[in-house]
Structure 1
Amino acid sequence: MEQHEWNVTAEEHGERIDKVLTVYETEWSRTQVQQWINHEHIKVNGKPVKRNYKVSTNDHITLTIPEPEELEVVAENIPIEVVYEDEDVIVVNKPRGMVVHPAPGHRSGTLVNALMYHCQDLSGINGVIRPGIVHRIDKDTSGLLMVAKNDHAHESLVNQLKKKTTKRIYKAIVHGVIPHHHGTIDAPIGRDYTDRQKMTVTEKNSKDAVTHFTVLETFKNFSYVQCELETGRTHQIRVHMKYIGYPLAGDPKYGPKRKSLQINGQALHAEILGFTHPRTGEDLLFEVPIPADMSQQLTFLRSQ
């Protein structure tokens, strides 16, 4: 079982405990934290509390995360575009609209379901729900994803991500005309206090996040950009581009309320992926073109 401990700061005094804990770890949802509270996996000063408990300065919080339930993940004959494969790694071109791994509401039709049909030897480090998955891209983002076929490859690829030695370059269409050609966004990202389903740029309980961008083309009301990730935070490009005033076209979470372009989801594509092969040490670099719907939107914008 995984153990966590915290002492409440004066700044957090009076906040609900479920809110405080979802700020500490952005991957935990408020619903998940509330379930842990209900089952007494979370205690304050050694005693269980209600989920509406308001913390006090110097409260000592302990969390014992139970072992996850092993849910059956069924292999499904779903076509996937395999860009590269050997005995250690698979590189796939994920289509827009496909979820990477099973989760509530998406038990089937995911990339993991497809990978399990395609091959049987995925890394077991992340358990049955996320076998082989070392990083993710959002459901409505298309593009390249690397997957580990054994635990040695998994650990190697994760370490490369942590050391920032992988290359991850995206193409995106954003609202607004960016007046300069290059830029770097160095702004920490954490959970949004007002909307737990969103991330935001914040100094409080955040992680460092760096995105480098280059403007490739500008149009009447949009720009076509290339973004290179130095870090890999949740929704990083979407949050960073919104932060500087140029949100992604078609982004339902961070973009304008009005429909912008005729595209189902954010206009974001993971075009280039590079890493060192975990067994041979060879530097590998892969590139896949933007999908047809993004290409069509660029053609439309150029005609305006």
Structure 2
Amino acid sequence: MIIEWKYEETEPRMLKTFLKEKKISKKMLAKVKFRGGQLEVNGEEVRVRHTLNIGDTIRMSIPIEPANPYLKPSEKPLDILFEDEHYLIVNKPAGVASVPSSTHREDTMANRIRGYVERNYYTHKTVHVVTRLDRETSGAMIFAKNALAHSMIDQKMRKQEVEKLYQAIISDVLIENHDFIEAPIGRTADSIITREVRADGKPSLTEYWVEERYSHATLVKVKLHTGRTHQIRVHFSHIDCPLLGDNLYGEESDYFFRQALHCSELSFQHPFTEQFLKIYAPLPNDLKELIEVLRGK
């Protein structure tokens, strides 16, 4: 992959400084230098201390990334919401893990992306998972197509410049149309999986808006201002309104058998094109059917 820029500043500047302003990390520059990439100015290979002048054309080639031999490709199809040469955003179904683990090895979203990359003969074959979802949570997930794309959007994630909105169904009727849940979250003492609100936890902030109320439940839109593990599930359980079907932080449901949670929207400024993207993931059929059941109660 080749990235190209035109230097339009009137004052000379070191290439290293220019690349830093373009959010190219030191780690990425090391890959370019030692793993087969290249830096060129006006068609000639240069080092990062090269001085740029107005009108110069800068080209950076990214080393080819081989596939992980331990990640098996899956032939299962993808529901693609957005794709360009840098990113692939898909709508994950409930019941599929994001990445392999000891209990889910061969049919995760990472496996499906690996299969998709092979079927389409992409040059870069490494799977870069940008955002993850719990196995039973559905919705939009971002994958990067190369290490540079991953690095650049990861910087946006760290600065909270990638907005994620969820839809959830809460097993109680919420009074406030709009509110915040602010409570620190940490790991429970007796588990490596579950989390809880605790005084020594990390600061955590969840914002929600009521979209529809039912006799014993509420459909809400949720925005995460922090990204803690299980944050939405823990916060709503903390206010005694666990997600419907969430048997980890609430109670099992007689008519819905996963946590009623869906990542419905992602929005961010594209790191390369600077286009503002707003990607929608429609509700899956099981949540649509659940809403119809609740409306009829």
Q: TM-score range with shorter-chain normalisation?
A: 0.7 to 0.9
Q: How many Å separate the matches in 2 of 1:93 and 1:242?
A: 26
* Structure 2 SS opposite 1:117: helix
Aligned partner of residue 237 in structure 1, secondary structure: helix
What is the correspondence of 1:28-177 to structure 2 with a 5 Å cutoff? Answer: 72-120=70-118, 121=122, 131-177=127-173
Question: 2: CA distance between counterparts of 1:249 and 1:162?
Answer: 30
Q: Measure how far apart 1:241 and its partner are.
A: 0.7
TM-score (norm 2): 0.73
Tell me which residue corresponds to 1:292: 285
Could you tell me whether the CA contact under 8 Å between 1:152 and 1:278 is conserved in 2? no
Q: Find the residue that maps to 2:128 and give its secondary structure.
A: coil
Cα separation, partners in 2 of 1:168 and 1:227, compared to 1, 3 Å: same
Q: By how many angstroms is 1:122 displaced?
A: 8.8
1:274 aligns with 2:267: yes
SS of 2:157's equivalent in the other structure is helix
**Contact 1:122–1:149 (CA<8 Å) still a contact in 2?**
no
Please list every run of 5 or more consecutive structure 2 residues that lacks an aligned counterpart in the other structure. Answer: 1-67
Taking the aligned partners of 1:92 and 1:275, their CA distance within structure 2 comes to: 15
Give deviations 1:167-195, integer Å, cap 9, x for gaps: 11100111111111111112121101143
Which residue of the partner structure matches residue 20 of structure 1? none
User: What amino acid maps onto 2:243 in structure 1?
Assistant: L
- State how 1:211-250 maps to structure 2 within 5 Å: 211-250=206-245
Structure 1 letter corresponding to 2:159:
K
Q: TM-score, normalised by structure 1?
A: 0.71
**87-96 or 148-157: which moved more?**
148-157
Contact 1:88-1:278 at 8 Å conserved across structures: no
Which residue does the alignment assign to 1:202? 198
Q: Letter of the 2:191 partner, please give it.
A: D
2: CA distance between counterparts of 1:114 and 1:238?
A: 27
Moved over 4 A (4+): 120-124
Alignment-mate amino acid for residue 258 of structure 2: G
> Which 5+ residue runs of structure 1 have no aligned equivalent?
1-69
Root-mean-square deviation (CA, aligned residues, Å) is: 1.7
Q: Deviations over 1:112-149 (max 9, x none)?
A: 1110111155978xxx7xx3112211000000011111
Report how far residue 217 of structure 1 moved: 1.4
Quote the Cα distance in structure 1 between the aligned partners of 2:285 and 2:168. Answer: 13
- 2:243 match: secondary structure: coil
